[in-house]
Structure formats: C-alpha cells, structure tokens
Amino acid sequence: MENNMFKPLAITALLFSGHFFSAQVMAAAEEQSPIVEPSPVQESHLPLQELRNFTEIFDRIRNSYVEPVDDKTLLQYAIDGMLSNLDPHSDYLLPEDFNELQEHTTGKFGGLGIEVGIEEGLIKVVTPIDDTPAEKAGIKAGDFIVSLDGEPVREMSLTNAIDKMRGEPGTDIELSVRRQGESELLEFILTRAEIKVASVRGEDLGDGIGYLRITQFQDKSGAELVKAIIKFQNEATEKKEPLNGLVLDLRNNPGGVLDAAVEVSDAFLDSGLIVYTEGRISDSDFRYSATETTVAKDIPLIVLINGGSASASEIVAGALQDHKRAVIVGTNSFGKGSVQSVLPIAGNKAIKLTTARYFTPKGRSIQAQGIQPDVYVEQSEVTAYEQSYYKESDLPGHLSNGDDEVEKEDDHQISDDLLSKDFQLYQAYTLLKGWNVFQHHRLPAAEVKQSASSPEQTSKP
C-alpha cells in the first residue's frame, strides 16, 4: 500500500464527513508542534491596507460594541470567520472540540444519537444513528429542529446547539421539530443516553444472502466488516449451502476515517488503486492500493447508497464501481470529495483544514457531483397485495401430483421485517437472487450438481 502522508506537517490526513459539525473522525498528530516548511504563499507580502482595516474594525468593536468583548474572544471570532468562510468543512477546534473529535472516532459519546448540520438558520437532521434515543423516538433524516427546551435554535450556533443536545445519560431534553408534510410542529422528549455506535451490523436475509450495514467509518470498521463476512461464510459452510451474495448498505453514512474506507474496499478487492488525492502541495498527494489479502474477492456484491452517503462512503462506492466489483443501487450520493486534515497548534487547539480533493481509481472527482448508482432506485415501502387467484390445489378433490412428499407452501412471500419495510434493500436482495439463478442456469448439469455439493464455490459478479 502506497502512503505519502504530510510528513513535513507531521500529521495524518483523514477524511471528514464534513456536512455537519460532529464529524465522526479525528487526525492523529505525530508531534504537538509540527514544523511547517515555508511555501511561496507564506513568503508573499501581506496586504497592508487590509491589515489596517482589520485593526480599525477590531478597535471599533472593542470600544463601541454595546457589550464589552475581551480581545481574546474577538481574535477567536476572527479565526472562526477566516476558516468558516473558506468552505463548509474547515473549522477552528478549541481543546474541547478536539477532544470531542477524538471521542467520536471510537464510536462512543453521550447525547441523543443524531448527526446534524445547519440550513436556513435551523438545525437539520442529517441522519439519526441506529438504535439511539433519536432513532427510537422517530426523529427522521431531513427534520428541522426548531427549538431545544423551548429555546429557538436560530439564536444558537451549531456548536452551541450540539452542546445543548449533549448531556448526562438519563437527563431529558425537549425538541420541537418541523417535518415536511406536517402542518404542525412535532414535539419530542428524548432521554439522553451513552451512545455506543456499532459501526458494522450484519444480518442474514435468507437464500444465502448476507446484509452488512456500516453506519459510519470508525477506526475498527474494517476489522468489524471482515469479522462479519467470515461469520456469514462459516454459517454457510455449516448449512452446507453457498454464500450467494452480500448487500453492503452505506445509506445515510456520512463518512469517517479514511483508513477504514480503504480497509472496507480492500475486503472486496485484491489489486488496484482504491483512492488518491491531489492538493496544492506535494505532501497532500497520496495513494492507497488494495492488498492481495481479501476475504470476499468473488462473492457477488451490491452496494446501497443515497443522498446521505458522503465522504468515506463515496470512496468505497466509487472504488468498487470503478473496478466493476459491485453493482451500486439507490440514489445519487452526497458529493463530498474533499480531504480535511487536523493540524495541531499551540495550547491543545487545532484547525481542521481542507487540504486536497480525492479521486476514484478512474480519476473521477466526486466533489459536488456524487456517485451515480448503476441501478437507480428511490426509497419506498414494499407492499404485498392480497391475491384472489385460485390454484389447482385449492379445488376440492384435486388430483395429487404423484409425489409422496408433503405439498410445500409458497415460500416466496416477503416475511422478513427488514425486507418488508425497505424497498431499496428488497430490490438489492432480488437482484442478487436473480443473479444467482442466472448463474445457476448457465452451468452445465454436472457443474450444477457439483456447485450444490460444494458450499465453498461461489460465482463471480
């Protein structure tokens, strides 16, 4: 694996989810005081007139603002504004913010369990995290939080709103929510809890098809995914049945640690480029390639994405799509194709700075474009209609088929709760079943018999 990682800056570059404050990643600093080599930008002359303007405005605010503001606070505001006006993902991290970032990368924090951003002055829910107070209470992606404990969020910064939603487990908070299609505000009372986010969840869908959901890319997501795949393989071997396919669900996954995205991609690829980045300085350019070791090289694979799939999710989807290793199903992804690095500065502070753009193996930039699925499927409910047809077996006195076996009931009905409530997942499941049937029909009779008796044998997608 090639790896050229910002050595002069002595930091590890990581991808951030970006479109909300509480990004699920951190950068590991190798030194507390990194030495930055001079660049042509640094050696250029500063604009003196703009510096005079800044000094004058600073002095006017300090002396004439309706309430006194100390110099330290004003300078911090200036830094905040300088970074936030670059792009939506650059930010100034105070010590508590930096610590919060480190907590998130472990997948454990206190609060309600929602990823949020800001839009039109309101706090917008990007996605509720699975199995958390917010998800259990019915908070949905796209909801706008209007007030917290009766206090309007328009009067809060995103940072303050997040701080207010966090708190000791067991304490309550009231949310007023505006939801599209609802004429009245929705009121929720949520009890804070310790949020332990399992980044990978696996479930057997039946017919030899496994379901893998990654909610966010944490530092152990790659290892958790490999463990889940091996579990599916072992269960298939015990049943003496083949593992016919996997569905990798990256919907509403806002991103996370770059290394985890690479490891997840590497689980399905045994060679080739996974992702590369390009920035203004050479040390922001790096490349990641797949290793020969893989647990799921030949298992048919479908990846689910939607508008909430961002950053690291798009790296995985883009790499598997470019290598034709998976069929991408769903709707267009979010379109965040930039890299953020955390650069420590004095006093346990740091800046989160956009330093590069990332590209898929075929050189596609996803920035503001997103990943387009191979099969476009909007989300909907799976509805089974009552059938009024009569069959031969329903007629009184019908002849038997001459088989001594007990007549079997129809086993093709939608019975699983996960499939019955998720149209996109049901479509992915159906595609994998169809692929398996198609491959089975293509095999000569002798090979079909051998395939059925050899659970280790799988078909390439």
Cβ–Cβ < 8 Å for 425, 211 = yes
Catalytic residue among 91, 97, 322, 422: 322
Q: Is 362 annotated as catalytic?
A: no
**Which residues are paired to 344 by β-bridges?**
350
Query: Helices 258-266 and 312-322: crossing angle, nearest 10°?
Result: 30
Question: How many angstroms separate the Cα of 1 from the Cα of each of 171, 271, 315, 412?
Answer: 47, 10, 16, 45
Give the pair of three-digit tokens for residue 296.
Answer: 């799921």
Q: Where are the alpha helices (DSSP H) in 85-165?
A: 95-105, 133-137, 158-165
Contact 187/134 with Cβ under 8 angstroms? no
Q: Indicate the pairing of strand 327-330 with strand 301-305.
A: parallel
Helix (H, G, I), strand (E, B) or coil at 95: helix
Which of 124, 220, 336, 352 is catalytic? The answer is 336
CB 106 within 8 A of CB 219: yes
What's the token pair of residue 284?
A: 């922001």
φ/ψ of residue 290, rounded to 5: -75, 155
Q: Rounded CA gap, 340 and 333, in Å?
A: 19
Q: Which residues pair with 248 in a beta bridge?
A: 212, 303
Task: Round to the nearest angstrom and report the end-to-end CA distance of the chain.
Answer: 25
Catalytic residue among 176, 221, 284, 311: 311
352 catalytically annotated: no
Give Cα 26 distance to the centre of its chain. Answer: 15
Q: What is the rounded CA–CA span in Å between residue 408 and residue 386? A: 20
Residues 342, 348, 351, CA angle at the centre, nearest 5°? 30
Q: Which amino acid, residue 115?
A: E
- Is 336 among the catalytic positions? yes
Q: Please give the positions annotated as active site.
A: 311, 322, 336
